[in-house]
A and B are shown apart, each in its own frame.
Chain A
Amino acid sequence: MRIGWLWRALPVALLTFLLAGCDLADEQSVFSPAGPVAEEQLGLFMWTWYLSIPVMLLVGGVLAYVIVRYRRRRGDDSIPGQTHGNVLLEVVWTTIPVIIIILVAVPTVRSIFALQTFTEAGEEDVTVTVTGYQWWWKFEYPEYGITTANELHVPVGARLVLDLQSADVLHAFWAPRLGGKVDLIPHQDNQLWLQASEPGVYHGQCAELCLGAHAYMRFRIVVQEQAEFEEWVSSFQEPVVQNVSSDQQVSQGRTLFAQKGCIGCHSLDNYAEGVSYGQPGYPNLTNFGLRHTVGAGVLDASLENVAQWIMDPQTVKPGNYMPTLWAEDDPNREEESTAIAAYLLSLGAGQAADGAQAVAMGGN
């Protein structure tokens, strides 16, 4: 009886999963290219895929024919003709793969030189130095003097030229909808260029095993209209730090950010005048309120999620280097982590509206 139940439930369960899987989510899909590099790479795949259809039909067809035509009939013990080979056939079926391979090789070589040859970055291009750390990404814009983490901003249509470096082990930078990956290797300067044709937030992920929280080493590329991008850049020139806030929670969070020792690792430009806090080997949190995610692309940056991440980072992202700051029975841990989260999310938020005011207030 239980078996009968299982047999009835199985197709239903499968169907549910099929439908659930068919929501056409494509955040990291090679099939949804959003720029010329990914399009070129997908085109190469599709070309090979079409070429492989006749090959599969040929092999499958011959196999099916042979199985039906030459199967042993009951009682038939005859010995077929002992053919040892045929030179003409060998020549023909050596030529077939040669032709297929030429058809694949020509566009392949063309695409290699199109995508992997580098020219000097031009006026329109945005150059970013990417440094891989276990298990987050540092993004530096040398032109603008911006240092940020886990989220890249780039204007639509501009060429994004990435200088890839690693601070510890191997990593690989991969944003599938914009293009293929390149490894980050200690003592090696690798380069990659990408380009986006439409604005949007594109997912990326580390693709080379780096132990520990490798699966949680994600990032976002935010592709914006030129004006929005410039606004984002300018927000870093005089970052808002909310030194005085009417919001009780934000003020408490600002104090806790120092008290709890967050500032010992995490830089926050302009947190206090004339003093540089934080260390270069940890994510810089300047303008954190402008980010889409927390924990290197692991959670969306809502107040609840950020608080959860600060309170219990090892559950959100097992193996990472964030310390757990509160004992499990600490009655204040929820309140305090939420306050820090609220403070961090206030950074850079509402930049355009009250930026000048905030800067004026923050000048102490």
Chain B
Amino acid sequence: MASSTTAPQASLFVRPNRRTGLVSWLTTVDHKKLGILYILSSFAFLGLASVEAFIMRLQLMQPGQQLVSPDVFNQLFTMHGVTMVFLAIMPMGIGFANYFVPLLIGARDLAFPRLNAFGYWVYALGGLMIYTSFFLGGAPDMGWTGYAPLTSLSANPGHGVDFYAFGLFISGIGTTVTAMNLIVTIVNMRAPGMTFMRMPVFVWMMIITSFMIIFAFPPLTIALVQIITDRTFGTLFYVPEAGALPILWQHLFWIFGHPEVYIIILPAFGMISEMVPTFSRKPLFGYPVMILASILIAFMGFAVWTHHMFTTGLGPVVNTAFSLTSFIIGIPTGVKIFNWLGTLWGGNIRFTTSLLYCLAFIVTFTLGGITGIMVAMPTFDAQVHDTYFVVAHFHYVMGGGALLTFLGAVYYWFPKFTGRLLDERMGKAGFVFIVLGFHTIFFPQHLAGLMGMPRRIQTYPAGIGLELWNFMSTFGTFIMGVGLVIFLINVIHGFRAGKPAGNDPWDGRTLEWATSSPPPYYNFATQPVVNSLDAYWAYKHPETLNVEPIDPRTEGREYDAGGIHIPGQSWWPILASSAIIVGSYGLIYDNWILAIISGFVFIFTIFGWAFEGVGGHHVNPELEGGAA
């Protein structure tokens, strides 16, 4: 392996170039390392959110309990929601995208590696910042939706709301830059021959998701800035005492909030569309229809936001309009379910743990879709809005939809991350506990809601018919907890002693299986060339497709004349993110000196970043051996 270094450039720091050790993780710009950091961080936050959920379920196990006070209970469900939506499930999808989008399109990295690192660090540090509020006088307690006027200083004088506003604002920056990065990468850096209609579905879903992020996050950012200025500078956007209309917050929040649901679920759709064909040994049924259906869902996702507001008195005309647009989303979603069934039909189905999660997804998501149609009926929604029926509904689509899929995706792609297989017997045992536990927790919640249990209540009286459903729900947390522990043990065991996987354990269809497991830091020795959808499958099984087989490992093109360019690692992204976090603490505590100094430090880091130059070196991996 030959390598050459480009001329060093003026920089404050010596750019680290070791590929192992703590410094390599702090300064990495490699999409694979950042992907792993994203996924590990999101699972860590998932663990925190699960503990919060577990405490809430214990509090609600029996009527009239006082295990935690109403105040603590409010903090628990707020942080559970904030964590699950912003810090666990959404970044999990983005983490998988970080790792796999470049591999799936045959690219060396994302288009802007340092920006990618910056995106990760603002997310991770922003999330940690929100969590420090638990030790600094109390976490936010007004629900993850942050409805005005509960966020106003008079209704909520503590600092919890500030942590919420700053934390989401900052992690929103990370999400937005990562979305831009993914769009630029997918549009510009696909392997030669990979037209849009030859792109793997997961890549399609990520470009759609990224566009949704770019259009959905600005309304949230505006609304958060309004809260921040209300609380820090004394503006009156959401202060009813001064005549403000608090209902306006709900519009801005849900113009973001509903697309956010699809931002969470579309990556999962993409993963299902990779796993189901692989384990059925068939191409995805109706590929163009699936893409179009997703684009339709993404567009319509921006036109349904007031179905979260059917009880706010918008009147029959508005309610009718948004009810109908919400129903319409059911059509492409139904089409997608049928196409996955069509993919399985006639296949030669291998029941791996991954595929079991896909099947559980199809069932759970269908049930969540049916309750989705129900809550889209404004007059019936008047009964179940803000009750456990809605809680059950969105856990079926986000937990049973997205989270179960991500667990399946871990089983599917773990061999690629590590070169080792996860244990299938442990995997299936964990699957049974997790899915059984999931339904034991959330199915009874439909009934609790219909029996009259509002959400976000710390306790409920005995004798009005809520005991059984709550006890069952709490009981389910133990079952699901066992499953999650098995999952965790399996992952740890897999890291240390999993069976060697080889490069392509599932007879995969897409390019990530063409490189080694784990992939070398430069991904592919030569840029793969493709001439069909599922080109790697076509190469391995030329008899099945009517195209010229091309070996993506050897028949590729050179990336660069001088070898593959590997950018240098950089301290600037993590420094810039840290400056933002420190400055936020300054603003939260009205410490203007700290805030202003942090502002200058931030500007300095951006200059440092800009003038650091590309750096790095070129490698010329030999084609034979491990590089392939």
Contact = CB atoms under 8 A, between A and B. Distances in A.
B370 interface: yes
A182 B465 contact: no
Nearest to B544: A82
Given A70-B349, A215-B70, A59 B366 contact: yes
Interface stretch (B416-424, B447-455, B579-587): B447-455
A356 B362 CA distance: 71
Q: Which of A49, A82, A210 is packed against the most chain B CB atoms within 10 Å? A: A82
B373 interface: yes
B383 A176 contact: yes
A180 B468 contact: no
Contacts of A183: 311-313
A98 B386 contact: no
A299 to B, nearest CB: 9
B570 to A, nearest CB: 43
Given A62-B345, A72-B351, A83 B283 contact: yes
Interface in A205-262: 205-215
A187 B236 CA distance: 14
Contacts of B541: 79
A304 B458 CA distance: 25
Interface string A56-85: 100110110011001110001011111111
A79 B450 contact: no
B281 A79 contact: yes
B123 to A, nearest CB: 27
A101 interface: yes
Interface residues of A, number: 97
B554 interface: no
A212 B71 contact: yes
Interface in B291-317: 311-313, 315-316
B282 interface: yes
Contacts of A85: 285-289, 342
Contacts of B367: 56
B245 interface: yes
Interface stretch (B264-272, B332-340, B496-504): B332-340
A291 interface: no
A205 B363 contact: no
A80 B345 CA distance: 10
A181 B379 contact: no
B621 to A, nearest CB: 32
B560 to A, nearest CB: 36
A82 B282 contact: yes
A115 B312 contact: no
Interface string B446-484: 000011111011111101110111011001000000000
Contacts of A59: 337, 341, 362-363, 366
A231 B289 CA distance: 67
A66 B349 contact: yes
Contacts of B312: 182-183, 185, 188, 190
A103 to B, nearest CB: 10
B71 A93 contact: no
A101 B342 CA distance: 22
A129 to B, nearest CB: 15
Nearest to B380: A44
Nearest to A213: B70
A242 B514 CA distance: 90
A116 B465 CA distance: 29
Nearest to B313: A190
A125 interface: no
Contacts of B347: 66, 70, 80
A22 B451 CA distance: 12
A187 B240 contact: yes
Contacts of B342: 83, 85-86, 89
A170 B377 contact: no
Nearest to A117: B316
B10 to A, nearest CB: 55
B156 interface: yes
A172 B386 CA distance: 9
Contact of A20 (B315, B319, B468): B468
Contact of B458 (A80, A168, A208, A215): A215
A116 B322 CA distance: 15
A80 B281 contact: yes
A165 to B, nearest CB: 11
A181 B463 CA distance: 22
B379 A108 contact: yes
A134 to B, nearest CB: 9
A332 interface: no
A105 interface: yes
A250 B541 CA distance: 94
B331 A48 contact: no
Nearest to B383: A180
Interface stretch (A25-33, A139-147, A347-355): A25-33
Contacts of B286: 84-86, 89-90
A146 to B, nearest CB: 25
A280 interface: no
Contacts of A14: 475
Nearest to A176: B452
B70 A214 contact: yes
B247 interface: yes
A174 B246 CA distance: 20
A318 B70 contact: yes
Contacts of A5: none
Contact of A174 (B155, B285, B454): B454
A40 B379 contact: yes
A277 interface: no
A70 B351 CA distance: 10
Interface string B243-283: 11111000000000000000000000000000000001111
A136 B453 CA distance: 18
Interface in B200-247: 240, 243-247
A22 B194 CA distance: 60
B607 to A, nearest CB: 44
A337 to B, nearest CB: 21
B454 A205 contact: yes
B70 A182 contact: no
Contact of B460 (A29, A63, A113, A215): A215
Contacts of A211: 74, 141-142, 150, 155-156
Given A56-B367, A66-B344, A182-B311, A29 B373 contact: no
A67 B350 CA distance: 10
Given A17-B471, A181-B311, A182-B313, A79 B544 contact: yes
Contacts of A111: 377, 379
A188 B467 contact: no
Contacts of B137: none
B518 interface: no
B385 interface: yes
B150 A169 contact: yes
A90 B467 contact: no
Contacts of B132: none
Interface string A189-200: 011000000000
B277 to A, nearest CB: 10
A318 B69 contact: yes
A188 B454 CA distance: 23
A209 B377 contact: no
Contacts of A206: 454
A40 B348 CA distance: 48
A306 to B, nearest CB: 17
B283 A52 contact: no
Given A29-B465, A80-B282, A170-B147, A108 B348 contact: no
A80 B280 contact: yes
A116 B379 CA distance: 8
Contact of B331 (A29, A31, A97): A97
B289 to A, nearest CB: 5
B17 interface: no
Given A115-B382, A181-B311, 14 more contacts: A17-B472, A18-B468, A41-B380, A66-B341, A80-B282, A84-B285, A94-B335, A176-B383, A179-B382, A182-B311, A183-B313, A205-B452, A212-B70, A215-B457
